[in-house]
Chains A and B, each alone.
Chain A
Amino acid sequence: MLRRRINRLCGGDEKRLDSRTIYVGNRPCPDTEAFIPSKFCDNRIVSSKYTVWNFLPKNLFEQFRRIANFYFLIIFLVQVIVDTPTSPVTSGLPLFFVITVTAIKQGYEDWLRHKADKEVNKYLVTVLEDGRSVRKESEKIKVGDVVEVVEDETFPCDLILLESSREDGTCFVTTASLDGESNHKTHYTVSDTEKDLQALTATIECEQPQPDLYKFVGRMHIYQQEQEQEQELVVRSLGPENLLLKGATLKNTKKIYGVSVYTGMETKMALNYQGKSQKRSAVEKSINAFLLVYLCILISKAIVCTTLKYVWQSKAGQDEPWYNQKTQKEKDTNMYLKMFTDFLSFMVLFNFIIPVSMYVTVEMQKFLGSFFITWDKDFFDPEIEEGALVNTSDLNEELGQVEYVFTDKTGTLTQNNMEFIECCIDGFQYRYRDTLSEVDGPVNNQQQNAGQEKEELFLRALCLCHTVQVKEAGSEVLVDEVDGMDGLLPQPEQETGFIASSPDEIALVKGAMKYGFTFLGLESKCMKIKNRQNDIEEYKLLHVLNFDPVRRRMSVIVQNNSGETLLFCKGADSSIFPRVRPEEVDRIRMHVERNATDGYRTLCVAYKKLSAEEYAMADAGLMEARLALQDREERLISVYNQVETGMSLIGATAVEDRLQEEAAETMEALQGAGMKVWVLTGDKMETAKSTCYACRLFQRGTELLELTVRTLKDEDKKRDVKLKELLQEYYKKAVLDAPPVRPGVTRSWSTANQDYGFIVDGATLSLVMNPPCDDDASQNKSFFLQICQSCTAVLCCRMAPLQKAQIVKMVKNSKGSPITLSIGDGANDVSMILEAHVGIGIKGKEGRQAVRNSDYAIPKLKHLKKLLLAHGHLYYVRIAHLVQYFFYKNLCFILPQFLYQFFCGYSQQPLYDAAYLTMYNICFTSMPILAYSLLEQHISIEILLHNAALYREIANNAMLRWRPFLYWTLLGIFQGLMFFFGVRFLFSNPALQDNGQVFGNWSYGTIVFTVLVFTVTLKLALDTRHWTWINHFVIWGSLAFYVFFSFFWGGIIWPFLKQQRLYFVFANMLSSVSAWLVIIILILLSLLPEILLVVLRKPRGHHSQQKKQSQSNVGGNQSPESSTRPLLMRTFSDESSPVV
């Protein structure tokens, strides 16, 4: 034994990276000579990023890592170091402002985190030390400490449950703060530990900390002292059911003891704390591209000016006229150095073309804009008392750009509110009436019912084969109240509710109840059911072979009173049929398929008697697999597969999953908006197909192209050959023969086009994605993708979660990189939610994981329509306009300054005063565009919702492509030229006042600047289609503020200014009639093309809008509502009028 132990220790040493050893209670274990208390991190949670000391340097470093901030810092430093035309204040002040605001915001957030950390870390917990309970601060818990937790307390670190106050060695926890699932979960003590904690000598070997909340493997070595010197080593396996996670709360259990295994930053909660990877929106990419263009403009401007300066200076007398001689130092400077500093000076002079404030405004727009989503009362769901949730505001505008929608079926398209509809026992169909009866079973059957024995076996199977818990009476909310209980039951069960991870199971248990078999609960591994005779039957639960999406089935092994060992298995037909006797299959398959076509979820139930030897073998196999530290999952699955063979099929169930409210309308609107909807589901093809019909994704006229295991079945050919053939055939049909579709208009209303629907299943998909031999792999893939893209709707069934993500990734990376959106509600959708550009979580029944990982969460599917068509559309238009406008207004701001260089000997003389340079982007022109970008509704929300086709107008990033960018740029250049040369011609005679006095250079700049401020603000006013009082206030307020500021700035001798160069310049300007006249005409002239464009586009725009409306009316008439009615009736009929 000693050798074994040492071996194990050595083995442990070798795999130090993979596992850790913990001494329970930090007591040395008898066998280990060298008790080395390993160093683990303490239980301090540090979620804060900074301390008081490192805040400033670290925060500054973080901020200047952003490329934009760094650029501005460089500009600022150049201004400080080199002799430049503008004072460092002009660029330093905005930068300082931005940096300070960000630092204050981050500092405040960090202070909050510090506070929260402190609260957690200083929390007093009870630790058992040398037989005494000691109160300790939470942060002082070490790995190996035995901790006591009482009811409603949260666990201070990750614990292995050792002892519970409940008799059956279980405890209940909620993990609401971890994953949002508020149901109670049962955790189990490690057997053999609950006897005496003080005497317990044990070590735990477990894996190194890892973030997966639902995964834990470890084993416990318990040294049982039977006699004084004799010790026996007992090994127990540890799984997630033994691990209590930090952050979870103890419920329904007085107190528990547990040994800490992971502490502090190594707890699963802390490891999960890391933020998700940042998603970047297409708009951001556009901004960066435009930024690059402007950077090029900036650099070329600087280069042009530098070159011309030296060309100009080479002319005699120009370089150093007698009135402007250089200092000795300047004369001595190296020529190339001078050129370089000149270049830098020009850069500084023109750097305002890339404004700091744009980043601030964009950030503010996104942050403030996202509130409109949370505030929207249309997203409020009275059932769950919650509205929409915005997890990231970076993607608001992406909601207006979606081209592909990937939706989950269960819980998303459907309600995930299961109702037991019917079952089929041994080939006979049962539909619930008051009494159990056969409705329309196989016609030619003599017997009315399946045998009594079979019936009861089937119902027992339903009652036993699940992981449902009975909600205890008195505990808070009842998830589901049991109906049809008429006082026959004992009192406590009166209010029985069931809790389960999947609503199917509850539906099945309740279905069995309707037929007289009631599940009463699980008590110390003993399942109690009440049969039709109101007798209580007890079954000893030996093993649960858990459900997983790959196996798509679950089993239990139970022992009844007579000592028989039975295995009950339920699962998808595809996973059950191969494991039962073939002759039984045929009788049931028909039912299953019919049920599936009706849109029901079907499960097959099978059972098997286990002989003593078989059970012993299975038991050993399971125990061994559960103890394994490595590859535990794989081993378990292989054991499961061994056990679940040779079963006999007893029946099938059909559960109805109702469609979500307005699911069909929503899908129709999305398709009308030009989005392609793909349904990715783990469900069966038939079920999923019927859901698609019900949601009007497939319509009667839709030709379905099927690429599934069934269509690939061909005696003559191998699967991959057949696959290739089919792909080519479909490709020809859907892609080549289809009339060329213009990009952007993906679905025409005209009936001439044949709509195609494409169906693919998981197995075939993996054949396409990961082909066995890669001859035509890439061709197959591209065919597949093109077929998918030319179909109006695609259904992918039988998908594993990872395959869902694979599909999303494939589309995301296809040509043109379309914007994808995934919507789902369950844990199985998380991968695709994370993969897509925009991930939407539905606050559904399957826990909160999808919501937690999503970018936006909405209570119901129907809210997606408004989220995309109204909010997304508006956000996109707003931010696109914001970006274009910002670049435009800075181009026409800086262009006159550039042109002025040609008239001042390229001496970097600024045209505008420093105050104007600084304030232009901060005060004079920032508020109107911010208000616009928050409030603009160029088309009202009602019209957007009503007319889905409007969404297509902004498809493919329409407002931020190069054409509109070029338009805005040209507009900026045109206006800049206007401003400068208009004033230039005016100044050909600078005597502009009626007293003959002349104006100087600052008057020149001020006139240009006044025209500029008025023009860009009025340009925005022209673009504003939705004038709320806020718009009025900020637009007219900004202009008034500019006038007021100019008066004020020029009206006082400011003691802190060295030069009062603007003193009374503005007032003098206003006293000149010519200046007024030139300002008015230049503003009008600059806006003239814009007005003309609006007007000339108007009749056309009006015209097309009318057309569009009539078109959509036509579309409405043809809308599939009527055509799919029969199918719809079929799926809805059962819900509205239960067939008897």
Chain B
Amino acid sequence: MKNEEEASERPDNTAFTQQQLPAWQPVLSAGIIIPGFLIIGLAFLGIGIALFLTSQTIQVLEMDYTGVEKDSPCFRCTSPSNQTCTCEVTFSLSTLFTGPVFFYYGLSNYFQNFRKYGVSKDDYQLTGDTQYFKSPRDVCFPYAHDSKNNPIVPCGAIASSMFNDTFELYQIINGTKKKVPLDGKGISWWTDYNIKYRNPLPVNGSFASAFDGTVKPINWPKAAYELDLTDPNNNGFLNQDFLVWMRRAALPQFRKLYRRITEGDYATGLPAGNYSLTVYYNYPVLSFDGRKKVVFSNVSWMGGKNDFLGIAYLVVGSLCVVMSVVMLIVYAKFKFSDDDDA
């Protein structure tokens, strides 16, 4: 019925109803494409060269300290019986390692991106909501209660497996060890530290008593509120190392920022010489065939060392240039044959 009524009316004569809207009809003609490819190609080549050169200037020093080989310094720490173990890794720099130097630790074959692992945390706890301290969410199981059924805070697999090797770096000058100061501030995302994670409010003026009735995660040597005894602002859930650990890595082989070397004599970098890295070896990885390493690196505007991006730009850039040349030839040929026809 309604249809007929509509149909009996004269249709609207507008550009839209008649499909006559003014339209831009782009044609990818040779005149646009060939110079376009050339310009893009050259630009990419430029960026590629810049990236590649930048990447080349970045210094990286990687050291595996897992201790798989018998002659490696940390081999003795790998036996499970050894509860607290310290080992020393030495290395020498032939040139100045330009600062600021970033100190990463790296893990391989470690799946922080397991789905169940990833959800195994209680975000309400981590925003400082003490209500959830006593009754952690189900996703935290089996890391929610200890054997005596006390609630664990912070609960869950991620928190429980927090990386707890610690390092001290010494420069060996004439046989004496000079401690290199390590700066642990600002290694986590600013938003994580300042907004996303919150500590519980102190009870009766004491931060620790906010955690009353809970126990620390089983693998942790210390409770959350005493993670950093030197800095009261680096405790609880707002501990920088904790926050770095809680940002899950994307791939099974990853590195995380441990410290920065920005202070004192080392603000300009690590001078050439011999160094000794003291490792407090706590974190077991051999059970799942994992590896641990430390990485010293400096960064540029593009971040850490990554040759991939520079090479990719170089390849695509040169591809574009080659393409524009090929197209030029093809077009020239077709143009001529067209002319022949006409």
**Cβ-defined contact, A1028 with B257, below 8 A:** no
Q: Report if A904-B252 is in contact (Cβ < 8 Å); known contacts: A372-B19, A387-B7, A1099-B330.
A: yes
Which residue of the partner chain, among B13, B115, B323, contacts A904 with CB atoms under 8 Å?
B115
Interface residues of B in 164-207 (CB under 8 A from A): 186-189, 191-192, 195-196
Residues of chain A contacted by B260 (CB below 8 angstroms): 996
In Å, the complex CA distance between A963 and B124 comes to: 53
| B19–A1000 touching, CB < 8 Å | no
Q: What is the bound-complex CA distance between A982 and B315, given in angstroms?
A: 13
Check A321/B288 contact, CB under 8 A, given A937-B19, A937-B23, A1098-B28.
yes
A171 to B118, alpha carbons, bound, how many Å? Answer: 83
Q: Is B17 in contact with A375, judged by CB distance below 8 angstroms?
A: yes
Residue among B141, B250, B302 making CB contact with A1000, cutoff 8 Å: B250
Would you give the shortest CB distance from B266 to chain A, in whole angstroms? Answer: 15
In the complex, identify which listed stretch (B90-98, B147-155, B293-301) lies at the interface while the others stay far away: B293-301
A-B residue pairs, 10 tightest by C-beta: A323-B161, A991-B304, A1004-B250, A375-B17, A317-B288, A1099-B334, A1001-B250, A992-B303, A1027-B24, A904-B113
Q: What are 9 A-B contacts with C-beta separation under 8 Å?
A: A323-B160, A377-B12, A387-B11, A903-B250, A904-B111, A907-B116, A909-B114, A1027-B25, A1095-B327
A999: chain B residues within 8 A (beta carbon): 250
B contacts, CB < 8 Å to A: 3-4, 6-8, 10-13, 17-19, 21-26, 28-30, 33, 40, 44, 47, 51, 100, 102, 104, 110-121, 123-124, 141-143, 157, 160-161, 186-189, 191-192, 195-196, 244, 247-257, 260, 284, 287-289, 297, 299-306, 308-309, 312-313, 316, 319-320, 323, 327, 330-331, 334-335, 338
Contact B157 A324 (CB under 8 A): yes
The interface residues of chain B lying within 8 Å CB-to-CB of A1098 are 28-30
Residue of A nearest to B287 (CB): A317
B117–A324 CB distance below 8 A: yes
Q: Which residues of chain A are near B102, meaning CB under 8 Å?
A: 991, 996
B310 nearest CB across to chain A (Å): 9
Question: Known contacts being A1001-B250, A1028-B22, is A994 close to B299, with CB within 8 Å?
Answer: yes
| Interface presence of A801 (CB below 8 A) | no
Q: Which chain A positions have C-beta within 8 A of B24? A: 1027
A371 nearest CB neighbor, chain B only: B17
Taking a contact as CB atoms under 8 Å apart, the answer to whether A385 and B8 are in contact is yes
Q: Which residues of B contact A903 (CB under 8 A)?
A: 113, 250-252
B300 lies within 8 A of A375 (CB)? no
Q: Would you call A989 and B312 a contact (CB within 8 A)? A: no
Q: Give Cα A653 to B33, complex, Å.
A: 70
Chain A residues within an 8 Å CB radius of B161: 322-324
- Say whether A1003 contacts B250, CB under 8 Å: yes
Q: Are B21 and A1030 in contact (CB under 8 A)?
A: yes
- A325-B157, A387-B11, A903-B251 given; name 17 further pairs at CB < 8 Å: A322-B288, A325-B143, A326-B142, A327-B142, A372-B19, A374-B6, A375-B18, A380-B11, A385-B8, A910-B115, A987-B250, A990-B254, A998-B255, A1000-B249, A1030-B21, A1060-B196, A1081-B309
Is A988 engaged at the interface, CB distance under 8 Å to the other chain? yes
| Set of chain B residues within 8 Å of A387, measured between Cβ atoms | 7, 10-11
A907 close to B255 (CB less than 8 A)? no
Interface flag for A1084 (CB, 8 Å):
yes
CB of A946 within 8 Å of the partner chain: no
Whether A483 sits at the interface, judged by CB under 8 Å, is no
Contact A998 B256 (CB under 8 A): yes
The answer, yes or no, to whether A60 is at the interface (CB within 8 Å) is no
Q: Does A709 contact B (CB under 8 A)?
A: no
Any B CB within 8 A of the CB of A997 = yes
The A993-1028 residues at the B interface (CB cut-off 8 A) are: 993-1001, 1003-1005, 1025-1028
Hey, which chain A residues are within 8 Å of B302, CB to CB?
A: 992, 994, 1073-1074, 1077
Do A935 and B19 touch across chains, with their CB atoms under 8 A apart? yes
A635-649 interface with B by 8 A CB criterion: none
Query: Chain A, 874-912, contact with B by CB distance < 8 Å: what is the 0/1 string?
Result: 000000000000000000000000000001110111100
A1073 contacts B308, C-beta separation under 8 Å: no
Residues of chain A lying within 8 A (CB to CB) of residue B188: 997
B331: chain A residues within 8 A (beta carbon): 1099
Residues of A within 8 A of B (CB): 85, 316-318, 321-328, 371-372, 374-377, 379-380, 385-390, 903-905, 907-910, 935, 937, 941, 982, 984-1001, 1003-1005, 1025-1031, 1053, 1058-1060, 1063-1064, 1068, 1072-1074, 1077-1078, 1081, 1084-1085, 1088, 1091-1092, 1094-1096, 1098-1100, 1103, 1106
User: Which residues of A lie under 8 Å from residue B26 when comparing CB positions?
Assistant: 1025, 1027
Closest to A857 in B: B7
* Inter-chain contacts of A1077 with B (CB < 8 A): 47, 51, 302, 309, 313
| B323 A322 Cβ-Cβ under 8 A | no
A1063 CB contacts on chain B under 8 angstroms = 191-192, 195-196
Contacts of B195 in A (CB 8 A): 1053, 1063
> Least Cβ distance of B340 to chain A in Å?
11
Give the CA-CA distance A995 to B301 in the complex, in Å: 9
- CB neighbours (8 Å) of B196 from chain A are 1053, 1060, 1063-1064
Contact of B251 among A984, A1025, A1078, A1088 (CB under 8 A): A984
Indicate whether A1078 sits within 8 Å of B113 (C-beta atoms), given known contacts A375-B17, A1085-B316: no
Bound complex: CA of A1058 vs CA of B137, how far in Å?
A: 11
Find the A residue at minimum CB distance from B283.
A323
A324 touches B257 (CB 8 A): no
Contacts of A1028 in B (CB 8 A): 21-23
List B contacts of A375 (CB < 8 A): 11-12, 17-18
Q: Which of A903, A994, A1025, A1074 has the most CB of B within 10 A?
A: A1074
* Residue of B with least CB distance to A1084: B316
CA distance A1063 to B126 in the complex (A): 14
Shortest Cβ gap from B312 to chain A (Å): 6
Contacts of B3 in A (CB 8 A): 389-390
The residue from B25, B113, B323 contacting A909, defined by CB atoms under 8 A apart: B113
- With A1053-B196, A1081-B44, A1091-B28 already in contact, the answer to whether A905 and B114 are too (CB < 8 A) is yes
CB neighbours (8 Å) of B186 from chain A are 995
CB distance from A1102 to the nearest CB of B (A): 8
Chain B hits for A1027, CB < 8 A: 23-26
Q: Which residues of A contact B305 (CB under 8 A)?
A: 989
Q: Are B301 and A994 in contact (CB under 8 A)?
A: yes
For residue B303, which residues in chain A have a CB less than 8 angstroms away from its CB?
A: 989, 991-994, 996, 1072-1074
Pick the contact of B306: A322, A372, A1064, A1074 (CB < 8 A): A1074
Q: Are A318 and B288 in contact (CB under 8 A)?
A: yes
Closest Cβ of chain B to A690, distance in Å, is 34
Q: What CA separation (Å) do A644 and B245 show in the bound complex?
A: 103
Q: Which one of A324, A908, A1088 contacts B111 once the chains associate, using CB atoms below 8 Å? A: A324
Cα separation A985 to B308 with both chains bound (whole Å): 7
Q: Is the CB of B28 within 8 A of A907?
A: no
> Which of chain B's residues have a CB closer than 8 A to the CB of A984?
251
Question: Quick one: closest A residue to B20, CB to CB?
Answer: A941
Partner of B247, one of A989, A998, A1026, A1081: A998
- CB-nearest residue of chain B to A1000: B247
Complex contact A1001–B249 (CB within 8 A): yes
Report yes or no: B327 in contact with A1096, Cβ–Cβ below 8 A: yes
A380 to B120 CA separation, bound complex (whole angstroms): 67
Report A-chain residues with C-beta under 8 Å of the C-beta of B117.
323-324, 907
Partner of A1078, one of B11, B19, B255, B309: B309
Given contacts A986-B306, A990-B249, contact A998 B257 (CB under 8 A): yes
Task: Identify the closest chain B residue to A328 (Cβ).
Answer: B142
Do A388 and B248 touch (CB < 8 A)? no
With both beta carbons as reference points, the residue of chain A lying nearest to B121 in the complex is identified as A1059
Also in contact, A1096 and B330, with CB within 8 A (given A389-B7, A991-B304): yes
Chain A residues with CB below 8 A from B104, complex form: 991, 998
Q: Give the docked Cα–Cα distance between A372 and B16 (Å).
A: 9
State the CA gap A277–B173 with chains docked (Å).
93
B321 to chain A, nearest CB (A): 13
Q: Are B11 and A377 in contact (CB under 8 A)?
A: yes
